[in-house]
Each structure stands twice: as structure tokens, then as C-alpha cells.
Amino acid sequence: MIYFLSDAHIGSRALPDRQEHERKVCRLLRRIGEDATEIYLLGDMFDFWYEFVWQKPEEYRLTTDTLRALTDKGIRVHFFIGNHDIWTFGWLAKHTGVTVHRRGESVVINGKLCYLAHGDGLIPSDMLRRYPRPVRRKIRRFMLLRRVFHNPVLQRLFALVPPKWGNGFGYEWARRSRMKELVRPCGYKGEQQEELVLYAKEQEQERHRDYYIFGHRHIELDLELATGARVIILGDLFKQWTYAAMDERGRLQLLSAEELLQEADNPLETGA
Ligand SMILES: [Mn+2]
């Protein structure tokens, strides 16, 4: 099986018990590790990940050890950066054996051509014309912040900030964005409005893919386009507890992580 997960936001200060949350995510990773050949982590697995010069993200020892155990078993684990865990400069790959991907990629998986990305910053080229001015301003602000966050010079400078301050700032920024999302969740905007769907449609005009798989939006979506391509948005491992699995024949399904964990907890009930 090949698994796709995203948006665990491990370490989020918006969680009442973040250790318990991290344990649950790791339980899921171990469970899928039982029959996984490859695992795609499609971004924002961590709520704030920064490899400071004076301190690496030690807080996530349980997760990094779990990832290490998976790659030691021979499972290929792909770590796509999201917009909360952009800032890995080699430490994560070295200590866990994951392959870090910094941008969206087209890959053939079990015979299916898939476009994989976290999803932040992917907007169709005519987007800015489509929207009223306040929305355009919001998008422009996000894109500017995104450029700042991705700038290599600024990244190196911030890595020198005392970790206590850097983490304080980072976790607070991340907590606010989580709280905003929890208080006023932005549901599926529909086929004509949802940026990732529009982006996939635009991509289809240039090159057909079987699947577009994204995270970022914290919504579940499995939508077939007119071209036959399917757009999958994974939900999250924060509130929705959803993930996707692909079998050897390239069939993909969105599934409930909670159900999978319950099965693991009660093996007798499933007759295993
Ligand atoms: Mn995100």
C-alpha cells in the first residue's frame, strides 16, 4: 500500500494536549507502516519546524524516531514541506531518512500519474482577475509572506535567532492560524471557487494526470474532473483524521484514520 497523509500540525499550541496528539499521529504512522511500501507526507506535518543553528527541533523526538523506524524498515518516506514546516535545512533528512521535497511534483505511482503538493500558493493564473479587491489583497499578502518565508537569505538569518525567541514567534504565529481555522473553518468553496480545483483544471490543459493530491485546506475532497482526473484533498490529522491509501492497481481511497486506529486497538473485532 501507498499512503498519503498531511496536516498533522504536530506541536500546535492550539491543542489541549499536544503530546497525546503526537502519540496518536505516531500510532497511525506505525500502523500504516505495517503494510506500506511508500508514504507521502504532503506538508504541515509539524505546526512549526525550524532547524535553528543553536537548536534542532528536539521536541518532536517521538515523531522523528517513528519516521526513522519506518525508513529503517525500507519504507520510502517522502516529506513535502508545507507552509508551517518549510524550514528544514538537512537535519530532518539526515536523522530520519526521509526524502524532502520542496515543491510540487509529478510522479508515477502504481501506474498512475500523480501531481503531489502541499497546495499553498497554488493558484490558477487568472485568479487575481476573478476576485473582488479585498480577496485579491489577501492573496497578495499571503504570497508576499510566502516569498519572505521561502527566501534563503532570510531563512539563514532567522536560523541564527536564539531558538527561544524564534520558537516563541513561530508557535504563536502557527497557533493563531490554527485558531482562526478552528473558529471560522473555510469549507469547500465549490468547483468554480476552490483554488486547488481550478489549479488542477488549468494543469489538465497542459498535461493530463490521473490524480492531483493536496493537503493544506483541511477539507476532504474527492472530485472527478471532466478529463477523468481526480482531485483529492486529504483533510487532516488534526480534526478530520483522514488520509488516502492507494493499492497495487492504482486505486485510491480517502479513509478515516480513527477507524484504522480503532481496528488496531481491537484486533479481535475485525477477526484479525
Ligand atoms: Mn498548510
Q: What are residue 69's phi and psi, to 5 degrees? A: -60, -40
Q: What is the pLDDT of residues 47-79, one digit of tens each?
A: 999 998 888 888 899 999 999 999 999 999 999
Q: Is the pLDDT of residue 272 over 50?
A: no
Q: In a 3-state reduction of DSSP, which class is residue 3?
A: strand
Q: How far is the CA of 194 from the centre of ligand 1 (A)?
A: 15
Is the CB of residue 127 less than 8 Å from the CB of residue 195? yes
Q: How far is the CA of 266 from the centre of ligand 1 (A)?
A: 33
Here the cell at position 169 is 514567534
Q: How far is the CA of 149 from the centre of ligand 1 (A)?
A: 13
* pLDDT classification of 261: cutoffs 50, 70, 90: very high
- The mean per-residue pLDDT over the stretch 169-187 comes to 88
**Residues flanking ion ligand 1, Cβ below 5 Å:** 44, 82-83, 216
pLDDT at 132: 83
Q: How far is the CA of 272 from the centre of ligand 1 (A)?
A: 36
Is the CB of residue 18 less than 8 Å from the CB of residue 12? yes
Q: What is the pLDDT of residues 97-147, one digit of tens each?
A: 999 999 999 999 999 999 999 999 898 877 777 778 888 888 888 888 888
Q: How far is the CA of 265 from the centre of ligand 1 (A)?
A: 30
Q: How far is the CA of 240 from the centre of ligand 1 (A)?
A: 14
Residue with cell 480517502: 254
Is the CB of residue 40 less than 8 Å from the CB of residue 3? yes
- The mean per-residue pLDDT over the stretch 86-93 comes to 94
Q: How far is the CA of 30 from the centre of ligand 1 (A)?
A: 23
pLDDT at 269: 57
> CA-to-CA distance for 85 and 189, rounded, in angstroms?
25
H-assigned helices in the chain: 18-32, 61-72, 91-96, 127-130, 133-150, 152-159, 163-183, 195-206, 257-265
Q: How far is the CA of 233 from the centre of ligand 1 (A)?
A: 12
pLDDT at 182: 85
149-167: b or e for each residue (b if 16 or more CB lie within 10 Å)? Answer: ebeeeebeebbebebeebb
Q: How far is the CA of 216 from the centre of ligand 1 (A)?
A: 4
Choice among 3-7, 163-167, 206-210 with the minimum mean pLDDT: 163-167
Q: How far is the CA of 81 from the centre of ligand 1 (A)?
A: 9
Is the CB of residue 223 less than 8 Å from the CB of residue 230? yes
| Residue 77: its H or E element | strand 76-80
> CA-to-CA distance for 2 and 165, rounded, in angstroms?
39
Average pLDDT taken over every residue of the chain: 92
Label residue 164 left, alpha or beta by phi (over 0 means left) and psi (-120 to 50 means alpha).
alpha
Q: Is the pLDDT of residue 270 over 60?
A: no
pTM of the model: 0.93
Is the CB of residue 48 less than 8 Å from the CB of residue 167? yes
Q: How far is the CA of 162 from the centre of ligand 1 (A)?
A: 25
Q: How far is the CA of 104 from the centre of ligand 1 (A)?
A: 13
Q: How far is the CA of 270 from the centre of ligand 1 (A)?
A: 35
pLDDT at 267: 67
pLDDT at 62: 97
> CA-to-CA distance for 29 and 243, rounded, in angstroms?
11
Q: Which residues make beta-bridge pairs with 116?
A: 105, 213
Domains along the chain? 2-265 (3.60.21.10)
